[in-house]
A and B are shown apart, each in its own frame.
Chain A
Amino acid sequence: MLAGPAGALVLAFVLAAVAMLIAGVSPLDGFGALFQGSLGGRRPIAETLVQTTALLFPALGVSLAFRAGLFNIGAEGQLLIGGLFAGAVGAHFAGPGWLVIPVLLLLGMVGGGIWGGIAGWLRARFNASEIISTLMLNFIALSLAGYLVAGPLKSPLASGAETAPLLPSGWLPAFPSLGSISFGDTRLTISILIAIATAIVLSFVFTRTVFGYELRAAGEAPEAARRSGINMPRMTLIALALSGAVAGLGGAAIVTGVLHRFNTQLSPGYGYTAIAVALVGDLNPLWVCVAAFGFGILEAGGLAMQANAGVPKDAIHVIEGLIVLVLAARRYFATRATGAPV
């Protein structure tokens, strides 16, 4: 569906121009700073791709849950717990990179999976709305992580609340050089390749596997799915746990790829922006990649736009919200009547 995502991205840039005019800045200058800061050279492009990656994982997680008819607004907490798991173990895990890195990424998936799974279990077992529970779990994740990095997991060497740094063998390798262009001095790692691979796998699962078919059936026609023998409570639990696992993988990727330690500043709200990314991507993993790149440009260029053109970068979050509001006119769920009470 080209019209949806493409139209929404065009809308994003029109709204950005309005936000610039409100701030008294010529859109020409504003967009100049935005694109200079996001696409104007090797370093800005690398930073845009770093932001793209950070958004892509939680957006894929959100898409997965939405496809199953579940409204996961807890990607932020799942991302954080995934990062926490990876950072807590990574601080003490010495070993060769080929072992450490996959283990840390897997731990991120486990952490995020548990966090999403809690909401899934509450919905499956008690019919507790996943909308409320996933959001509550975001705040609970933040207090839990805040407590752990200020206390039991705090690095004795760090001044702030954070875990001890990962050993360099646990760092994700830098993005491979393209001809003469090297990314060794940027924050760009192979995690973007992992994110894209995840999108391809999810796309395959959705369209080519029985599980994916059942998952979509649960979302698009819950009553028919139930009558055809799909275990709906089980599907709810699995979908939310998997959704959390994908977001958690993203948290671990930030820890092993960007921060090399865990602290609660891991995410400036990627999990919330991810909802906009998933909707703009029409919940289709491959289009979500394109949408994540678009929002990556906004995230990375936003700072430059604020510094060089004087447009507050928070304008970008207003734009994201307006896009979500507009896209609400599209139909994502079969019917809310079958959902848990909100």
Chain B
Amino acid sequence: MSAGVSLMLTLLFLTLIKSVPIVYAALGGVISERAGVVNIGLEGMMTAGAFSAVVFTNLTGSPIIGLIAGIFFGAVLGFVLGFAATFFKVDQIVAGVGINLVALGGAAYGLVLIFNQPGASPQVTQLGPGQLLPQITTGETAMIVLGLLCAFGLNWFIYRTPWGLRIQACGENPRAVTDAGLNPLRLRLYSVIASGALAGLGGAFLSICEVNLYSDQMTAGRGFIALAAVIFGRWTPWGATGAAVFFGFFEALQYVLQGRISWLPSDAMQALPYLAALFAIAGLVGRVRAPAADGVPY
């Protein structure tokens, strides 16, 4: 195989791997916003997922239980935001920022309290460490497939099931949901819990699948990149998935280019995925429409 082909393959595989956490978080963003709650807390929910996955893998020795813990604690933060946003009608953006601060600080606090070491956790058992494809582990493959299934499932759920249509209605016109005899607040709460679970799963991928430890601030803004993916993908599951892969590509590109092009410094290239997200949300002038009641308390 020539060097060029192998480099392209590396870029392709890395794009798949780097996209996974953003895909899960972006799908979480879609369901939450479709129900009418802006989830600025995605970043914190990913952090909670990443950290708790490591704690429970360390505790039980099973990365599967770690993964479940990641989903659970992401969902717990989803519950907190969802409950505050629906029954307390708080400012969703401010509350989301609060969630992020709590999760990031909580993980740093937990590192010292549980592992007695600041900065990073000890290494734990990785999810599916064996190589399946040349550059992708078994665990990563499973998570990529599961991510696609989630996108497929969410798309089917939102557009093809009665509950999905009701959730859409919560984001467009919650009053109509009340008139139909349902409680939009409860539907919104369930959606934000699901959103947190998906973000927690994405976070768990970062810590126990892509690597095998938690380090401080390892989510590095991916929750916000996922929010950009939701907008870029026009609030649809497949659109958001595509946008997440697009941002994942730039993250992968940064790794592939590092050290290969001497005049491109690696520090500056770390900005690539963030620049891509910035251009993506700026390049959609006048062409996007969020769900009508998105971010508006009911």
Q: Which residues of A contact B (CB under 8 A)?
A: 19, 22-23, 71, 73, 122, 125-129, 131-133, 135-140, 142-144, 146-147, 150-151, 272, 275-276, 279, 312, 314-333, 335-337, 339, 341-342
Contact = CB atoms under 8 A, between A and B. Distances in A.
A327 B94 contact: yes
Given A127-B285, A322-B98, A332 B91 contact: yes
Interface in B250-295: 265, 267-271, 274-275, 277-278, 281-286, 288-290, 294-295
Given A140-B275, A317-B101, A342-B231, A332 B94 contact: yes
A328 B268 contact: no
B102 A333 contact: no
Contact of B105 (A133, A317, A339): A317
A22 B109 CA distance: 11
A126 B94 contact: no
Contacts of B101: 272, 275-276, 317-318, 320-321, 324
B106 to A, nearest CB: 5
A323 B84 CA distance: 13
B102 A342 contact: no
Nearest to B216: A314
Nearest to A273: B101
Contacts of B220: 139
A71 to B, nearest CB: 6
B40 A316 contact: no
B38 interface: yes
B112 interface: yes
Contact of B228 (A22, A132, A318, A320): A132
A287 B290 CA distance: 36
A23 B114 CA distance: 10
A258 B227 CA distance: 37
A328 B84 contact: yes
Contact of A128 (B108, B268, B281): B281
Contacts of B281: 122, 126, 128-129, 132-133
Contact of A136 (B38, B111, B277, B284): B277
The 8 closest A-B pairs by CB, nearest first: A317-B105, A321-B101, A325-B98, A321-B102, A324-B98, A147-B267, A314-B108, A312-B112
29 contacts: A122-B278, A128-B278, A128-B282, A132-B224, A132-B227, A132-B228, A135-B224, A136-B277, A137-B278, A139-B220, A142-B270, A143-B274, A147-B268, A151-B265, A151-B267, A272-B101, A318-B102, A318-B106, A321-B101, A321-B104, A322-B98, A324-B101, A325-B99, A328-B98, A329-B88, A330-B91, A341-B290, A342-B40, A342-B231
B177 interface: no
Given A127-B286, A133-B282, A312-B113, A144 B271 contact: yes
B100 interface: yes
Given A315-B105, A328-B94, A337 B84 contact: no
Nearest to B221: A139
A7 B296 CA distance: 27
A162 to B, nearest CB: 14
B116 to A, nearest CB: 10
Contacts of A138: 221
Interface in B82-103: 84, 88-95, 97-103
Nearest to A151: B265
Contact of A337 (B94, B111, B277, B295): B295
B283 A126 contact: yes
Candidate in B93, B275, B277 with the most chain A CB atoms within 10 angstroms:
B93
A335 B93 CA distance: 11
B80 interface: yes
A224 B35 CA distance: 29
B94 A279 contact: yes
Given A143-B270, A331-B91, A341-B290, 5 more contacts: A128-B281, A133-B281, A139-B271, A147-B265, A342-B40
